[in-house]
Structure 1
Amino acid sequence: MLANIKKVFSFVILLFTLNLCDAVEIPERFQKSNHTNNWAVLVDTSRFWFNYRHVANALSIYRSVKRLGIPDSQIILMISDDMACNPRNPRPATVFNNAHEQINVYGDDVEVDYRGYEVSVESFVRLLTGRVPPDTPRSKRLLTDEGSNILIYLTGHGGDGFLKFQDSEEITSQELADALEQMWQKRRYNEIFCIIDTCQASSMYEKFYSPNILATASSLVGEDSLSHHVDSAIGVYIIDRYTYYVLEFLENVNPSSKKTMSEFLAVCPKKVCISTVGVRRDLFKRDPSKVPITDFFGSVRRVIITTDPIDIQEVPKRRKNISLNKTKVQEKREYLPQFPMHLVKTTV
């Protein structure tokens, strides 16, 4: 009888403990990221002039993450075809992502790390896993560590479980998943946010099994990912629909923005995207609604916290050189908006 009472009492205590655990909210400080640096891997896998929009996609994301603080030294840009130098380009040395041609996303400060036939399945997997040849320059290495948050953006042509490279080879969803697992085993990342803008894009993240990965795709299995609009002066589609609305969202983000990843994941509803945006969040430990978008699209600024007093000595003022000719103060350079909304007509 006493033994039965003890069992019942233990069962009640267990239920009380479980209910208490459900009621306890995780403290805010444990929801914050402990990463120390940000990297971006931006890949356009398509060749040929009619795939102009894929180059514009990658260059537009490149411009956005760079504006938000990720330096070129921590961005790996892979472009399969140089549309700026294509003989069919009526605007040589330029790539535009909107029909009004306000912003040349192939500007003076673009650093392409892998171009042309350097962009392959082998080079991409070697880049992620760190298995590059010894003579590979530093600019072509993904020098991440266990404190790195990595944004991976893939655009091109895909199908159910594969993404084409150069129209001659494919990377499968299992190969991509295994590459990410190698990265985890080798402590090459803290968290990864993977964006895939292709047809049937969600099939590429279905095989992921490594922790701390958040993924989104422009279309579900069986759906096409559509382009947005044509520039009649250039003669081809110049940006994909999903990436267009992503960029429209990112234009309202700044390094001190309070926008969250959950807002980003809802950026392209089906009524404007035509395709259904997919999200994979079961491998990601944090709540996307509490993750700042700058954890992936911005850059961590190192801050030294000290309790010791700091003596700031007064610096003697320098004598001003009096000159008759006043020099013009150079204006601060800023990034122009990618989408001049007063010029662009609303497209549904």
Structure 2
Amino acid sequence: MRLITTYFLVFLITVIQAFSNKSHTNNWAVLVDTSRFWFNYRHVANVLSIYRSVKRLGIPDSQIILMIADDMACNPRNPRPATVFNNADQHINVYGDDVEVDYRGYEVTVENFVRLLTGRLPPGTPRSKQLLSDEGSNVLIYLTGHGGDGFLKFQDSEEITSQEMADALEQMWQKQRYNEIFFMIDTCQAASMYERFYSPNILAVGSSLVGEDSLSHHVDSSIGVYIIDRYTYYALEFLEKVNPQSDRSLSEFLKVCPKSVCISTVGVRKDLYNRDPSRVPITDFFGSVRPIDILHDITNVTLVQRKRAKSKKPKAKPKKYMYVDPLVNFNSLNV
């Protein structure tokens, strides 16, 4: 009896695992810069760098929501117009030629962000401004800006609290708008923003613990401001070595910025996540999903083509038509 019970439990676990693997069907990314003004150049560079990475790894623009609170590429103080760089060598223009910004400037508000996540947008909202995720979607949420203990500033004029953030994710879960979420935030006291999460299937990482500041990485003297934050800099250093077929795991990614280089302490919350991050490919969130059906039967393609050729019916000969003068007697025509 015990043996039968054991076999049944093994079978049940196998079925559940198979079902959970099939439930992931598509990937989305919500990338948000919440800061305005030239001295916050680095926050725009942060979000554009992540945007560049997820596009390179296969997530199309149609499944990326990009929110940028200020347009640094067109700022009159930018010595190189139409560009944004994340490195002092200026070898990569992360603004690029094909950036699709969905929310810009004063459109980047707490209200629009929460409405985006929960799907409570006004009628007539363009498709490009909607998060059309479903119960099969893995959603990457990346936030960067200025924060504090339990809040993240938007535009230096309003803020979203950790409780509001948690409630928005719960609404997403109740409305079947995600399969799993990877929540990633680079801001001061970042870990405080995920402390109140209570919805399942969420893995969260923050660039600093409560009471710590997140620090910028370096200044570009020609631009005159810091151009990227430390945590995002080392995250990108890792992502640049990843390709769409990579087997690198989320567990490796969570270790990209030790305190020796980040100065702040990176925080991770895994208790809401039901998978082992060491067995989750990083492309489950940063790449695209390409469902593949594996056929174990051998199919003779040549034979199939011959059968198709034989089954084709000969084409009917087209009917011939001729012009007839309406004044001519039809009985005299030999047709």
Aligned to 2:127: 138
Query: What is the deviation of 1:210?
Result: 0.1
The answer as to 2:216 corresponding to 1:227 is: yes
The answer as to 2:56 corresponding to 1:67 is: yes
Q: Give % identity.
A: 81
Aligned partner of residue 239 in structure 1, secondary structure: coil
Aligned partner of residue 145 in structure 1, secondary structure: coil
CA distance in 2, matches of 1:310, 1:301: 25
From 151, 163, 182, the counterpart of 1:174:
163
Aligned to 1:109: 98
The answer as to 2:74 corresponding to 1:81 is: no
1:255-295 CA deviation, whole Å, 9 max, x = no partner?
11111111000110000000000000000000111111111
Q: CA RMSD in A?
A: 2.3
What is the 5 A alignment of 1:1-348? 30=17, 33=21, 34-306=23-295, 307=297, 309=299, 311=301, 313=305
Runs of 4+ in 1 over 6 A off after TM superposition: 26-29
1:51-94 CA deviation, whole Å, 9 max, x = no partner?
00000000000000000000000000000000000000000010
Query: What is the deviation of 1:29?
Result: 9.0
Question: Larger C-alpha radius of gyration, 1 or 2?
Answer: 2
CA distance in 2, matches of 1:28, 1:109: 43
CA distance in 2, matches of 1:155, 1:220: 15
CA distance in 2, matches of 1:310, 1:255: 31
- Letter in structure 1 aligned against 2:202: I
Query: What is the deviation of 1:109?
Result: 1.1
Aligned partner of residue 179 in structure 1, secondary structure: helix
Query: What is the deviation of 1:303?
Result: 2.4
TM-score (norm 2): 0.84
- Letter in structure 1 aligned against 2:35: S
CA distance in 1, matches of 2:66, 2:126: 14
CA distance in 2, matches of 1:141, 1:291: 27
Aligned partner of residue 228 in structure 2, secondary structure: strand
TM-score (norm 1): 0.81
Aligned partner of residue 217 in structure 2, secondary structure: strand
1:279-316 CA deviation, whole Å, 9 max, x = no partner?
000000001111111110111013244558474649xx
Aligned partner of residue 208 in structure 1, secondary structure: coil
CA distance in 2, matches of 1:27, 1:237: 50
1:179-232 CA deviation, whole Å, 9 max, x = no partner?
000000000000000001000000000000000000000000000000000000
Aligned partner of residue 79 in structure 2, secondary structure: coil
1:235-259 CA deviation, whole Å, 9 max, x = no partner?
0000000000000000111111111
Greater Cα shift, 172-181 or 298-307: 298-307
- Letter in structure 1 aligned against 2:122: P
